[in-house]
Amino acid sequence: MSPEPGAENPLVTAVRAASWIRSAAVDDERGRHWRANPDPRGRAAMPDHPLSLYSGAAGIVLFFLELAAATGDQSYLVDARAGARYLTATWRDQADLSLHHGLAGVMFVLAEAGWATGDDSFEIEAGAVADHIARSARPIDGGLGWTGDPAQRGDGGIILGLLHAAGILGVPAYQELAVEAGARIATLVVPGHRFGEGACADLPLDAVTPGFLSGTAGTAFLLARLYGVTGENAFLGAARRGADFVRAVSTVTERCAMIPHHLPQGRDLHYLGFCSGSAGVARMFYELHRVAGDAADLDWVERLARGIAVSGVPARQTDGYWNAACQCCGAAGLLELFVGLWAATGRQTHLELAHALGANLIGRATGHDDQGSRWYQAYRRLRPWEVTADTGYMVGAAGIGAALLHLDATARPAEARRLILPPDNPFPAIPLPSATLRSS
C-alpha cells in the first residue's frame, strides 16, 4: 500500500485523523460528542456506546489530549474540553459501570482531562463518578463486586479504574474498595476462567476464553496489579494460577507462543490482537514481570511477540489477524504492544516491527473526500462483508491516531512526553528506553 501524498509520517497521519473526527462533531448545550461514523449512509461498528472509552466520546477526548501534547496546538485542547463537558453533563444517564464501555472509562478520562487542562471541574466530576461506582458495589459470593464477571469487561476493569482514580485523585478509599473487590476474585480456582455465555454472542456456551478483555489473561493482569499495589501474596498466587492456565493451553513452538481464541473448539484459532490474542496476553505476562521480577514472565512476553512477528504481520493476514486496523483486534493494538516492548526492553527488533506496523497503518489511511484520514475495516472477523470506518478509540480513528502518536514519540527523545495510557496498559508511559533518556 502506498501512503496518501504527504502522509508519510505518523504525526501527520494522526493530525489528518483528527480532521476526520472533527467532521463528525455534534455540539449542543451539553458540550461536544462525535458521531461513531460520519460517512454518508455509513453504519458504525459500535453505535450504542456514545460516552465510552471504547467507541464514544471518552476515547476521542483521550486522543485530543494526546494530540495537543504532541503538536503544541491548543485547539485540540478546545476539542478535549468540549468533549469532557459532554461527559460531565451526561454520565448520570449511563448505567454500564465497566472500563471500556461504561463509567469507569469515563472516570479515567475525566481525571486525565483535569490533569492535562488544569480544569479542576473535570477532576471533581471524575470523583463524583468514582463515588457513584463505589456506592454501586454490592455483596457477591462473600465479597464485593458489581457485575459478578471477574474479567476486564466486568469487575476487573472497574477495579482497574478505581485504582487509577485513587492515585490521580488522591482518594485512598477507592483503592481500599478495589482491593476488597479484588480479594473475592483472588479466591477463584482459575481467575477469569469463563464460559462462552455472555462472553461473546458467537461463542459456544461451553467455550472457555483465555484472552485479555473477556478471559483469564485480563483477570490475571488485574491480580498482578493488585499484588503490586498491596504486596499481598494471595493476589500474586491467584495471578500465577491464571498465568499457568494460559501457559498450559497455549501452542508453543521453539521460541514462539500462540494463544487459542477459545477452548476446546477454537484451539487452532490464534488471534494476535489486544482483545483475545497475543498482544493482550503479553500485557499480562509483562505486568507479572513488572511487579514480581521473574525473568520467566518476560520470556513469555518475548515468546508471544515472536509468535506475532513470525506470523508475517503486517503484510500477511491470517484467521486471527484479518482486515482490521483498530486497537482492539487490529494493527494499532499490535503497534501499541511493540512500542511498549521497545520502551521496556530497548530491543531494536521491537521498534523495527512497530515501524512496519505504523507504515502499514499510514498506507491504509483513506482521505478520499478531503475530510481527513480514516480506516475502513472489517471489525468483526465473522462478518467480513461489514466494512466500516469509525471514529472511536478502541474501534476506530482516535485509537489508531493515538497509536501513531506513540510511535512518533519514539523518534523524539529530546521531547520526551508522558503518554496517556489506559489502566490496562502496563508499559512505560514515556515510550523511550531508560538508556535513551539518559543519553539524550
Q: What is the pLDDT of residues 291-332, one digit of tens each?
A: 999 999 999 999 999 999 999 999 998 888 888 999 999 999
Percent of the chain with pLDDT over 90: 78
pTM: 0.95
Closest by CA position to 69, among listed 434, 433, 408, 423: 408
Q: Is the pLDDT of residue 65 over 70?
A: yes
Among all chains, which residue has been given the C-alpha cell 501534547?
69
Distances (CA, A) of 313 to 267, 309, 322, 335, 406: 21, 6, 10, 11, 19
| Cβ neighbours for 139, distance < 8 A, ≥ 6 positions apart | none
List pLDDT tens digits, range 73-119: 999 999 999 999 999 999 999 999 999 999 999 999 999 999 999 99
- Residue 346: the pLDDT is 96
pLDDT value of position 440: 61
Distance, in Å, from the CA atom of 9 to the CA atom of 375, rounded to the nearest integer, reads 16
- In this prediction, residue 197 carries a pLDDT of 52
Determine the Cα–Cα distance for residues 405 and 417; give it in Å rounded to an integer: 11
Q: What's the DSSP call for residue 375?
A: -
